[in-house]
Amino acid sequence: MVKIVLFVLLAEAVTVIGQILFKKSANSLERYSLRSNGARIRFLSEIFARPSLWLGFLAIVIGLVIWLIALAQGDLSLVFPIGSLQYIMILFLAHIFLGEKIDKMKFIGTFLVVFGIVLITTTH
Amino acid sequence: MKQNHLTFKIFSLIVLNDLVDTAAQLFMKKGLLHTGIDSVNLSNIAEFAARNASSAFLWLGILVYALNFFIWIVVLYKVDLSIAMPVGSFSYIFIPIFAILFLHEHVNMVRWIGIICIILGIHFVSQSKKPIMKEEKANQWLR
């Protein structure tokens, strides 16, 4: 069981790193309004030229594979509640690596979401 | 101009992202159910992969999943990751609702409380109106 918990945590950590890399690539772009097709095309062509985006993809795929291995071996009522910890990881890692603020509303809201997921996924 | 907080438009995009994600998961699940293999282990994993590779539903699911990335990247472009992620937990609500409507599953009281907690949590997170990041840090990322 400890092994499965560690696997899930590893999968979440790698996925969260992928999301942070996605966000980093999105933050590195100029601020387009995305209202015209020209701006949308420039936005997409620029973001796909970012190495951090592709590193993010790689991390997400690796995270998914580890997640599937954990899912295949562990009970859903164990894997999903632990998996919901990724929301807490995002809260703090986005603060550390992206400079996103943690305010009271975000903090309370994130923990409520995690609590809700735990309630939904541990009962039958 | 950059958005400082979650607008209705971006909120709707996140909900759309969750709906598309739910559809992709259902397609993939449907594809995986038709393999005729009950349990996967090291000895039959190659056969499992080979049978799945010919499943149209699985590929449809993967395609929809990939297309969803375009919605997600626009969301990330506009709002904090630490706002987008919790608000994106709508799929935990959609799946039970779809299960009730289409599969006539029973949802017990504890799960209803869980669903209400998630809705409340999303509401709180979406009230967070802090800027995407500090202005100087934002400038640092501009080329």
Q: What is the pLDDT of residues B70-112, one digit of tens each?
A: 999 999 998 889 899 888 888 878 877 777 777 677 778 888 8
Question: From the CA of B56, how many Å to the nearest CA of chain A?
Answer: 20
Residue in A53, A113, A115, A124 to test binding to B, most B beta-carbons within 10 Å: A113
| Residue-level length of chain A | 124
B95 vs B32: CA distance, rounded Å: 18
Does the residue B2 lie in any domain? no
| Per-residue tokens: B96 | 């039970």
B31 neighbors B55 (Cβ within 8 angstroms): yes
Q: Residue A29 and residue B77: Cβ atoms within 8 Å? A: yes
Residue in B73, B126, B133 to test binding to A, most A beta-carbons within 10 Å: B73
| Per-residue tokens: B78 | 């506009």
Kind and range of the H or E element at A49? Answer: none
Break chain A into its structural domains and give their ranges.
2-122
Number of A:B CB contacts under 8 A?
A: 143
Return the ∠ at Cα A108 (arms to A56 and B114), rounded to 5°.
Answer: 85
For residue B49, pLDDT beyond 80: no
For chain B, give the DSSP string: ---SS--HHHHHHHHHHHHHHHHHHHHHHHHHHTT------TTTHHHHHHHHHT-HHHHHHHHHHHHHHHHHHHHHHHS-HHHHHHHGGGHHHHHHHHHHHHH-----HHHHHHHHHHHHHHHHHHH----SS-HHHHHHH--
Q: Residue B89 and residue A44: Cβ atoms within 8 Å? A: no
Does the residue B3 lie in any domain? no
Does the residue B86 lie in any domain? yes
Confidence of residue B38 (pLDDT cuts 50, 70, 90): low
Q: Residues of chain A whose pLDDT is less than 70?
A: 124
Report percent pLDDT > 70 for chain B: 79
For A77-97, give the DSSP string: HHHHHHHTTHHHHHHHHHHHH
Does the residue B15 lie in any domain? yes
Q: Is the pTM of this model over 0.90?
A: no
Does the residue B1 lie in any domain? no
Assess A46–B contact: CB distance below 8 Å, yes or no.
no
pLDDT at B22 (0 to 100):
83
Does the residue B113 lie in any domain? yes
pLDDT at A17 (0 to 100):
95
Query: Which of residues 51 through 70 in chain A touch B, CB cutoff 8 A?
Result: none
Assess B112–A contact: CB distance below 8 Å, yes or no.
no
Q: Structurally, how many domains does chain B consist of?
A: 1
Token pair 């029973």: residue? B106
Q: Residue B130 and residue A116: Cβ atoms within 8 Å? A: no
Q: Which domain holds residue B130?
A: 8-141
Residue A93's nearest CA partner among A29, A19, A43 is A19
Mean pLDDT for B47-57 is: 77
Does the residue B50 lie in any domain? yes
Q: Residue A98 and residue B113: Cβ atoms within 8 Å? A: no
